[in-house]
Structures are given as C-alpha cells and as structure tokens.
C-alpha cells in the first residue's frame, strides 16, 4: 500500500533522529512518543499494512514521525542524512522453540546486519532487545546438551535467532567499536500486554477473571521474570542514553524472581472468590534457575520500576474483571 504523505521519510538533519525496528507495538509507540516529545524525529520500521498505518493515528499528523517497511532497510543508507539512535526489537515471540525456516533466518540476519552497518556509519548509539526467557532456555539446554548442533539439517528457532542477534551486536561492538548495548526483557505485563501469547501468567489471569480454578502445570515452580510495559519503555531509554552502558548486557525486569505458584497465591489474595489451585500434567519443563544466571539488572545504572509487581497484578485482575462485566 502507499504510505501517507505525513509518514514518508523526511529529508532533514535538524532533529535528533531515531530508528525503532519492530516498533509498531505498544512498547515501540511509547518510546517513539517519548522521543518525539523531546524534539526528536522517529522512523518506525515494521510491516507496512493498512491496519498498521491506522495504529499511528494516535499521533498528530504534524509530528516528526515516519513509517517504512522492513524491505526498506537496505535503502535507508541512501534515504536518511542523520541517525543518532537505533532501537532494534528482537524480544517478541509466541513460541521460543518454534522452528524458523532458513530463508526467514537469512532475512532476519540481513536486516540486522544492514541496521548495524547503518548505525556504524552514522556513529549512532545502538540498543538490541532480546528475551530473558529465551536466554534462560538456551543456557539450560546448553548445560543439558539439548541442542540442534548434531542435526544434519540446520534447524533454527526464535530463541536461536535472539542468540544470533546478541552475538552479532557484540561483534560489531568489539570489531568496529559500535556504541551498542543489549537489554534482555522479562515477560511484559500490564498496559499493552499481549493476552494472546498463552503464557502461564496470561492463563492464570484469565482463569481468575472467568472465576475458574487457577491451573498450574506440573508443580508450578517454574521461574519467571516480569516487567511492566511502561517501566520497560523507561528502562530501554535509560539504557540507551546512560553513559558507560556500551558493550554491556542488562536484564530489564523486576528484581525478584516469581514462580507460577507464587503468582497464583497472589491472585488468590487479590480475588477471594478464586479459591482453588489445581495442578495438571504439562510438558516436561527443562528450565532450571540453577543453570541460569541473568545479566546484571538495569537497576545497576539507576533504573527503578515505578510500579511494584504486586500493585500491577492487583490492577490487572481488577481491570480484567471490569472488562468482562462491561463486555
């Protein structure tokens, strides 16, 4: 489709310019809004469609905002005159173990390499987001020896794409001194969260709002890291702009680790009508906290979550009950 005139690339060097790759989501829009309010020009890179263009109607038509498709990435070198900050989102996935075709992997690799080269050319600050959960699974499977390294035919998964993205980013930092950093995000909960991702947290929340027993797989002791979406946006900006973060990897999440069972207990405390917790047989969990040591929390450079997890969970339960009553 044709991009509206107000969202086409702008030929300017007057304003601090940022690119957000994969940014047409609640997190990316929040960061874009913050950057534009500070007088910056933002280019969002994502899949161009009529539906996605409509998502940008939340902004006035005169803001410094452009929208381009992923396929435009190889041409950005010719189309922009200034680039100060790059945010590359690689943390989102529905299933970390879902297989990815070789063509999809190569496409991702080419886009990432092109953006890293672009950031190097303009001497930009670069930030990559990946998933704490993906890193936990990878570390655990490496310890257990459950990798695809011995398979004759290469098999790529979403979590391996994230590992590749981290490796390539660090390579650019080490070899060409790109000003880059990595933030591994916990599962985003709160405003803008994805209720279709079928995570244990979402399942528990939906059990609660429907008045059903809280269903836990196996013993419910699998560990999770969470982060409020608005706190994640603030943390990503903090990591990008803080001196001394280059070349480092951070965890962006609440400092406490939560089990599925502990979340279920907290939901019971909030909603007294939800009395029963049931345990069901689930897929064998290979995730062990003992084999995973997260990167230093972003709190080490002064970031702090603005909403405690307990307050956030209470808000979510109450809001979802209200939603069901209104619907």
Query: Residues 318, 319, 325, CA angle at the centre, nearest 5°?
Result: 90
Instruction: Give 325's contacts (C-beta < 8 A, 6+ positions apart).
Output: none
pLDDT at 324: 53
DSSP state of 51: H
Check residue 250 and give left, alpha or beta (phi > 0: left; psi -120 to 50: alpha).
beta
Structural domain contains residue 68: yes
Q: How far, in Å, CA of 226 to CA of 187, rounded?
A: 5
284 within domain boundaries:
no
The CA distance from 273 to 224, in Å, is 25
The pLDDT value recorded for residue 152 is 42
- Which pLDDT does position 292 carry in this prediction? 65
Check residue 284 and give its pLDDT. Answer: 53
In whole angstroms, give the CA distance from residue 112 to residue 106. 10
Which CATH number covers residue 182?
Answer: 3.40.50.720
Range of the domain at 246: 7-189+226-255+295-305
177: left (phi over 0), alpha (psi -120 to 50) or beta: left
Rounded to a whole number of angstroms, the CA Rg of the chain reads: 21
Question: Residue 198: what pLDDT?
Answer: 79
Residue 266 lies in a domain: no
Residue 308: its pLDDT value, please? 92
Domain assignment present for 106: yes
The answer to whether residue 212 sits within a structural domain is no
195: burial class by Cβ within 10 Å (0-12, 13-18, 19+)?
Answer: exposed
Q: Total structural domains in the chain?
A: 1
Helix (H, G, I), strand (E, B) or coil at 117: helix
- Residue 47's DSSP bridge partners are none
Who contacts 190 (Cβ-Cβ below 8 Å, separation ≥6)? 228, 229, 230, 307, 312, 315, 316
SS (H, E, C) 125-177: EEEEEEEHHHHHHHHHHHHHCCCCCCCCCCCEEHHHHHHHHHHHHHHHHHHHC
Query: Does residue 237 fall inside a structural domain?
Result: yes
SS3 29: helix
8 A C-beta contact, residue 29 and residue 229: no
Q: Which residues pair with 297 in a beta bridge?
A: 251
Q: Is residue 196 one of the residues assigned to a domain?
A: no
Domain contains 133: yes
Give the β-pairing of 65-69 and 41-46: parallel
Query: pLDDT tens, position by position, for the chain (327 residues)?
Result: 789 999 999 989 999 999 999 999 999 999 999 999 999 999 999 999 999 999 999 999 999 999 999 999 999 999 999 999 999 999 987 677 778 889 999 999 999 999 999 999 999 999 999 999 888 888 776 544 454 444 444 568 888 899 999 999 999 999 999 999 999 999 999 877 777 777 899 899 888 888 889 999 989 988 899 999 999 999 999 999 999 999 999 999 998 889 999 999 999 888 777 779 999 987 655 454 455 678 999 999 999 999 999 999 988 887 765 555 444
CA distances from 44 to 13, 21, 48, 162, 165 (A): 17, 6, 10, 20, 19
pTM of the complete model: 0.91
> Are 70 and 42 a contacting pair, CB within 8 Å?
no
Residue 149: its pLDDT value, please?
43
């Amino acid at each position: 489709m044709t991009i509206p005139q107000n969202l086409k690339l702008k030929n300017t060097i007057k304003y601090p310019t940022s690119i957000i790759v994969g940014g047409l989501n609640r997190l990316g829009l929040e960061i874009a809004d913050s950057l534009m309010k500070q007088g910056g020009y933002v280019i969002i890179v994502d899949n161009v469609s009529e539906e996605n263009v409509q998502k940008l109607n939340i902004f006035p038509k005169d803001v410094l905002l452009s929208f381009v498709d992923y396929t435009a990435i190889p041409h950005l070198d010719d189309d922009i005159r200034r680039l100060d900050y790059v945010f590359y989102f690689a943390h989102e996935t529905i299933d970390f173990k879902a297989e990815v075709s070789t063509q999809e992997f190569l496409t991702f690799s080419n886009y990432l390499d092109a953006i890293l080269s672009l950031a190097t050319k303009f001497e930009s600050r670069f930030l990559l987001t990946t998933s704490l959960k993906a890193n936990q699974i990878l570390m655990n499977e490496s310890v257990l020896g459950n990798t695809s390294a011995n398979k004759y035919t290469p098999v790529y998964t979403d979590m391996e794409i994230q590992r590749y993205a981290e490796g390539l980013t660090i390579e650019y930092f080490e070899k060409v001194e790109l000003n880059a950093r990595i933030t591994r995000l916990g599962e985003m909960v709160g405003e803008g969260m994805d209720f279709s991702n079928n995570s244990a947290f979402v399942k528990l929340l939906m059990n609660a709002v429907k008045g059903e027993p809280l269903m836990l797989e196996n013993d419910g002791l699998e560990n999770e890291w969470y982060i409020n979406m608005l706190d994640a946006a603030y943390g990503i900006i903090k990591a990008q702009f803080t001196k001394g973060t280059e070349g480092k990897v951070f965890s962006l999440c609440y400092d406490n680790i939560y089990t599925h069972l502990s979340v279920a207990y907290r939901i019971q405390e909030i909603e007294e009508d939800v009395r029963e917790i049931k345990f069901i047989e689930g897929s064998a969990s290979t995730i062990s906290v003992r084999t995973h040591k997260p990167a230093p929390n972003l709190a080490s450079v002064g970031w702090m979550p603005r909403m405690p997890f307990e307050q956030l969970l209470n808000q979510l339960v109450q809001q979802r009950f209200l939603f069901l009553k209104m619907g």
